[in-house]
Amino acid sequence: MEVQYTFPRPGRALWAILGVLTAVGIATGFMAAWGSGADRIFYWLAFVPDLGFRQPWRFLTSDQLTSPEGVSHLVFTLLGVYFLGVSLEQKWGGWRFARFLGLSVIAGNLAVFLVDRFIPPSAPARFHPDYTYGLMAAITAIAIAWTRDYADTSVRLMFVLPVKGRVLYWVTIGFCVLDLIYPSAIPEGVVAPFGGLVVGLLFGGSPSLMRTAWLRTRLMFLRRQGAALRVDDILQPKAPRRPRPGAPPLRVVPGGLDEVLKKRTPPKDKRYLN
């Protein structure tokens, strides 16, 4: 099965995500080149590991930013979200897709925060970034989740090279590892893709591993309750429910069809009586 020869139409959620990314990317680029204020936007939205949980909104808002120094980061971000995101949105629905992206960004920034805290200061500077921003963690999560739902489907990698879903899975992991080995300027942080990788493995697929674990845990508790249930517990009549304190007393209000017919006088001419 071959897909991605045409450009599928995104749903509402993906249109909104692409629109926000485009608007913020163009606005920050314009302010950086022709005006001022781009640094203020980055100051309030980018993720800063040193601040940690003191400003928790940064774990999520950093995904709205792209590099104002060139258009390439914005273009590749839009293509990365659109490339496989359309298929996932059509299969999952917009709400699940949007939650999935938000969770992957939070996981990516959390990975950056933990590495910055526990890696010695003598480690390379790319493991201790001053601030991070971008959607690389979400793009990685989208790729991993897509391979779980479409393992036997062929896709045009970068719209050129045809690969199977299971091959794309290992290609994505390989790029995550290469980012750790070779020095590269990744605005999201070199460990952020691993956060998206974990989210894609746990929450991708239908059903996902997390949902499967939840259903199995729930089934285990139901079986325990069923094993402890006795026949007398089912046949035993329930105790009458006590009225709430201060509730008005219940009484039967006369009325209905039977009461009306009792008080009704039969007609003398019964030819028209139904």
Instruction: Compute the distance between CA of residue 193 and CA of residue 196 in angstroms, rounded to an integer.
Output: 5
Query: Buried (b) or exposed (e) across 4-27, using 16+ Cβ within 10 A?
Result: beeeeebbebbeebbeebeebbee
Q: Any bridge partners for residue 235, and if so which?
A: none
Computed over its alpha carbons, how large is the radius of gyration of the chain? 30
CA distances from 242 to 245, 249, 250, 252 (A): 9, 11, 12, 18
| Cis status of the peptide bond prior to 207, with omega within 30 of 0 | yes
Is residue 21 classed as helix, strand or coil in its secondary structure? helix
Give per-10-residue mean pLDDT for the chain (274 aa): 62 93 91 80 90 90 88 91 91 93 95 92 87 93 92 77 87 90 82 94 89 89 75 63 67 66 67 56
Q: Is the CA virtual torsion 171, 173, 177, 179 positive or negative?
A: positive
Helices and strands: H and E segment counts in the chain: 11, 2
Q: Quick one: 12-216 is in which CATH superfamily? A: Rhomboid-like (1.20.1540.10)
3-state secondary structure of 198: helix
The pLDDT score that the predictor gives to residue 4 is: 46
pLDDT given at position 198:
95
Predicted pLDDT of residue 146: 93
Query: CA 75 → CA 145, 176, 224, distances in Å?
Result: 22, 20, 53
Distance, in Å, from the CA atom of 70 to the CA atom of 31, rounded to the nearest integer, reads 12
CA distance 8 to 184: 32
Strands 154-157 and 161-164: antiparallel
What are the C-alpha distances in Å from 182 to residues 81, 91, 124, 176? 24, 36, 11, 11
